[in-house]
Structure 1
Amino acid sequence: MDIVMRIPETLKTFRETRLSSIRPPGEFFDHHRISRPADSNQIISRISYNTRYFSGNYGLIILVLAVYALITNPILLISLGFLIGGFIAINRFAPDPIQMGDHVVTQKSLYIGLFVIGLPLLWWSSPIATFFWLVGASSFIILFHAALIEPGVESEYANLESGTA
């Protein structure tokens, strides 16, 4: 029950830390700041600055791609739901052994049944391929955006404040 009480506090903390760093769409999609970098040093400096500056937006991109990956792979969604739901149901409804006729069904035997069915189903849904697709797609989008967007004027002031100028 203590976990349920901490959910609003956790969501408030998440909103204050992560969601406050999301830049407005007008700034994130500013087509006037798009330019081809001159050399690899400029690419590296742009990626370094923009990944920090737009970190909230990039996190949102990863989240959207993860939801898209789950929606487009219904077998993965079903297998995750089966495993997570089964785990929760066993913990909630069967903490003690249950007598069914001549057999005693324990929590351990329920977990074995859950994993005997759930793990092959999960393997069949190819979560590793989905994970690598998510890493590759998000990396490509983030690095492409970060390399093409020129840092704003505020990046020059950030260098002066940190004493790196």
Structure 2
Amino acid sequence: MEHLSKVTSALKNLRETRLSHLRPASEFFNHHQLSRPTDLNQATSRISYNTRYFAGNYSILIAILSIYALLTNLWLLLAIAFLFGGFTAINRFAPEPTQVGNYLVTQKGLYTGLFVIGIPLLWFAAPMSTLFWIVGASAFCILFHACLLDPGVESEYSTVQDPV
């Protein structure tokens, strides 16, 4: 029950910090504001503004690409499930040493067996290529969207500070 409250508070914290800055889909996918930047300075300006303005939407995009990458790399999904499931099972069902025949099976021995099988399985699944794919695909999508989406009129006033 304690774990459920931790997860609930973590999700609430995520919603309050990152997801509170979500912009509506109609604004994020507004094709009327798409235009090619005239020069590198304008492209840099658009990227700078749009990455801050749509930060919540871009976080959702990265999460979706990550889930897609995991679902398309079944070996990696299997390796992660095996390692986390094994770790959880050892902690839950084998906290104390157990006698099996003439052998004494300890938690340390079980962890060693888990990692002797799990690490080569993880290595075979190529997690680094998946990570680099996520980084590359996210960077491409975010920079492409941020560069082509012309900021609205409110962007002109984003640097103006209120007089005190």
Identify the TM-score tier after normalising by the shorter chain: over 0.9
Question: What is the match of residue 70 of structure 1?
Answer: 70
When residues 75 and 162 of structure 1 are mapped into structure 2, their CA distance, relative to the original with a 3 A threshold, is farther
Q: Which amino acid in structure 1 is aligned with residue 48 of structure 2?
A: S
**Which residue number in structure 2 is paired with residue 84 of structure 1?**
84
1:101 aligns with 2:94: no
Q: Report the 3-state secondary structure (helix = DSSP H, G, I; strand = E; otherwise coil) of the residue aligned with 1:128.
A: helix
% identical aligned pairs: 60
Deviation digits for residues 29-66 of structure 1, max 9, x if unmatched?
Answer: 11111111111111111111100100111111111111
Query: Which amino acid in structure 2 is aligned with residue 118 of structure 1?
Result: G
Q: CA–CA distance in 2 between the matches of 1:136 and 1:8?
A: 31
Runs of 4+ with >6 A deviation: none
Q: After superposition, give the CA deviation of every residue in 1:57-103 in whole Å (9 maximum; x if it has no partner).
A: 11111111111111111111011000011011111111111111110
Confirm whether residue 17 of structure 1 aligns to residue 17 of structure 2. Answer: yes
Give the TM-score normalised by structure 2.
0.94
Cα offset for 1:16?
Answer: 1.8
Which segment drifts farther, 104-113 or 6-15?
6-15
User: 1:66, 1:6 → 2: CA distance?
Assistant: 23
Separation of aligned partners in 1, 2:7 and 2:109 = 32
Q: Secondary structure at the match of 2:158?
A: helix
Matched residue count: 163
Separation in 1, partners of 2:160, 2:5: 44
Alpha-carbon distance in 1 for matches of 2:34, 2:25:
14
Residue in structure 2 matched with residue 151 of structure 1 by the alignment? 151
Structure 1 equivalent of residue 122 of structure 2: 122
> 1:56 corresponds to which residue?
56
Please name the residue that 1:138 is paired with. 138
Q: Could you tell me how far 1:162 is from its partner in structure 2?
A: 7.4
**Aligned-partner residue type, residue 109 of structure 1:** G
Give the TM-score of the pair, scaled to structure 1: 0.94
Point out where structure 2 has 5 or more consecutive residues left out of the alignment.
none
Q: CA RMSD in A?
A: 1.4
Alpha-carbon shift at residue 5 of structure 1 (Å): 2.6
